[in-house]
Amino acid sequence: MLCSLCLQGCRSSFQVTAEDFVREESRETRDNGGEPAAGLVLVPDGQSSVPSDVPNSGLPAAILAALPSIAASTVRVALPMRHLTVESDAVSWQSSLSTESEEVDTKSLRLPAVFGSQEWNQYFGEVGEEPFLPLDIDEILHSACPFWPGKLVKNTHLLVLIPSTVDGKAFTLDLLGELIQSPRGDGHRTQYFLYEDEVQRSSRDAYSTSSYWVLLTRDILPGSRSKPYTVQQALVAAQAPRVDHSPYEIPNVLETATAILSHYVRSSHRLYEGYEGAGIDELPSTSTRCTVLLEDIAEHPSPIAVGRFCSRGLVFLSGFDDDAELGISCLRKFGTRNYRPSALLHLFGAEEWSRYFGEVEPIPPLPEHIVDTLNSPCPFWPGRAVKDTHLLVLIPAKVAGEPFSLSLLGELVKCPKSGGYPTKYRYYNGDVQKHGCESV
Note whether 297 and 197 are within 8 A (CB): no
CA dist 369 and 390 (Å) reads 16
Q: Within a 13 Å sphere around the CA of 216, how many CA atoms are in the beta-carbon half?
A: 31
Query: Residue 439 above 50 pLDDT?
Result: yes
Query: Residue 234 above 60 pLDDT?
Result: yes
User: 374, exposed or middle or buried, with CB in 10 Å at 0-12, 13-18, 19+?
Assistant: buried
Note whether 261 and 255 are within 8 A (CB): no
Closest CA to 319 of 199, 217, 224: 199
∠ at Cα 121 (115, 123), nearest 5°? 75
| pLDDT confidence of residue 51 | 38
Mean pLDDT of 306-324: 80
Range with lowest mean pLDDT among 189-198, 347-356, 387-396, 426-435: 426-435
Residues of the chain above pLDDT 70, percent = 68
* pLDDT tens per residue across span 294-304: 554 445 556 78
Query: Residue 3 above 70 pLDDT?
Result: no
* Residue 432: how many other CB atoms lie within 10 Å: 22
Query: Residue 2 above 50 pLDDT?
Result: no
Signed CA dihedral, 14, 16, 17, 22: sign only: positive
| pLDDT confidence of residue 103 | 28
Mean pLDDT of 163-172: 94
Query: Residue 83 above 60 pLDDT?
Result: no
More confident residue, 213 or 203: 213
Mean pLDDT of 330-354: 89
Confidence class for position 54, pLDDT limits 50, 70, 90 = very low
Mean pLDDT of 322-341: 86
Range with lowest mean pLDDT among 79-83, 238-242, 275-279, 289-293: 79-83
**What average pLDDT is seen over the chain?**
76
Range with lowest mean pLDDT among 25-34, 213-222, 274-283, 357-366: 25-34
